[in-house]
Amino acid sequence: MSIKTAIVNGVQTIEIARPEKKNALTRAMYQEMADTLNAANEDNTVRAVLIQGQPAIFTSGNDIEDFMSSPPRDEDAPVFQFMRAMIGCDKPVIAAVNGAAIGIGTTMLLHCDFVYVADDARLAMPFVSLGLVPEFGSSLVVPRLMGQRRAAEKLLLGDPFTGEQAVEYGIANAVLPAGEVVNHARRVAERFNKLAPTAVRESKKLMRRGTEEALLEAIQVEAEIFGARLRSPEAIEAFQAFFQKRQPDFSKF
Ligand code: COA
């Protein structure tokens, strides 16, 4: 089981647990996360959702083997169900990030309400490096959060950034010692057990009302281009290079 779920003390935990592949996310894992988020949204015993990885890795992003063998074909693909479930979750979602958060590992954080990162966290959105384009609304949200110039470094060059920088850019709330991140995030999640649940949900919806339509539109436009890019010679070269443990050669394109 690569996604472990549990409801403890009002908190739905979603733990990404595939350390042998650096927590790379497969179709089955997206489906499990989408189903869990949707169920948590309907479950009155759940007051908040906590997403966490493993002590050494949050997630290395989409499984690149899956990108090659079973790319998302339509809006029912598990990855899009996961994106909709994240955006549609009107209970607080808290992320605890240890180690690397790559690709969707970083873009999913844009849609959490609270993000706590370890002092060893490394975030990156290397879509272009893989012959792809930004996804999960990041082409819209990242420039708004950090400005066009910094967004170009992160989205066009794929430059990685630290937990401290994630706080500075408004992606994360705070940096904590690696061993304390999950416990801190859980304590924040458990605070919602004492708050009025409907007031929390209505407030979260209000906070997103002005931006949700543009976000969903951006996700759809990105998805169409992303889907075409997955089958492009540039992306195929990048995927093959990853598994052959070499740098991609884009000089021929
Ligand atoms: N998809 C599929 N497999 C992945 C993966 C991914 N996103 N990330 C890591 N793996 C696999 C590796 O192929 C390797 O498998 P193997 O043991 O069968 O050879 C295993 O996980 C360990 O990864 P490795 O690269 O050897 O670990 P590392 O500690 O040297 O580096 C990362 C860790 C996360 C920096 C590196 O794996 C990486 O860059 N992954 C890809 C990130 C990425 O581009 N994601 C997609 C973003 S859109």
The CATH number of the domain where 125 resides is what?
Answer: 3.90.226.10
Ligand 1 binding pocket (C-beta < 6 A) is 21-22, 24, 60-65, 100, 102-103, 126-127, 130
189 in any annotated domain:
no
Query: Ligand 1: which residue has its CA nearest to atom 18?
Result: 21
Q: How many domains does one find in the chain?
A: 1
Centre of ligand 1 from the C-alpha of residue 242, in Å: 8
Q: What is the pLDDT of residue 29?
A: 98
212 in any annotated domain:
no
CB 64 within 8 A of CB 243: yes
Pocket test for ligand 1, best of 60, 132, 135, 139 (most atoms within 8 A of CB): 60
CB 59 within 8 A of CB 24: yes
**Digit-coded pLDDT (tens) for 182-230:** 999 999 999 999 999 999 999 999 999 999 999 999 999 999 999 999 9
Q: Single out the residue of 100, 108, 96, 56 nearest to residue 184, CA to CA.
A: 96
Shortest-distance atom of ligand 1 to CA 100: 34
Centre of ligand 1 from the C-alpha of residue 59, in Å: 9
Query: What distance in Å separates the CA atoms of residue 95 and residue 49, rounded to the nearest whole number?
Result: 8
**Residue 30, number of CB atoms within 10 A of its CB:** 24
CB 38 within 8 A of CB 93: no
Gyration radius of the chain's alpha carbons: 17
191 in any annotated domain:
no
Give the structural domain span for 60: 3-180
Pocket test for ligand 1, best of 22, 58, 138, 246 (most atoms within 8 A of CB): 22
Centre of ligand 1 from the C-alpha of residue 192, in Å: 35
Query: What distance in Å separates the CA atoms of residue 34 and residue 17, rounded to the nearest whole number?
Result: 16
Long-range own/partner contacts, residues 75-80 (CB < 8 A, 24 or more apart): 75/220, 75/223, 77/27, 78/27, 78/28, 78/30, 78/31, 78/34, 79/25, 79/27, 79/30, 79/104, 80/219, 80/223
**Digit-coded pLDDT (tens) for 113-126:** 999 999 999 999 99
Query: Ligand 1: which residue has its CA nearest to atom 29?
Result: 22
Q: What is the pLDDT of residue 1?
A: 78
Centre of ligand 1 from the C-alpha of residue 102, in Å: 10
237 in any annotated domain:
no
Centre of ligand 1 from the C-alpha of residue 35, in Å: 26
Where would I find the beta strands (DSSP E) of 107-248? Answer: 114-118, 122-124, 161-162, 174-176
Here the tokens at position 236 are 């195929």
234 in any annotated domain:
no
Query: Ligand 1: which residue has its CA nearest to atom 38?
Result: 60
Q: What is the pLDDT of residue 93?
A: 99
- Return all residues near 106 (Cβ < 8 A) that are at least 6 apart: 123, 124, 125, 138, 171
9 burial level (CB within 10 Å; 0-12, 13-18, 19+): exposed
Collect the ranges in the chain with pLDDT lower than 50. Answer: none
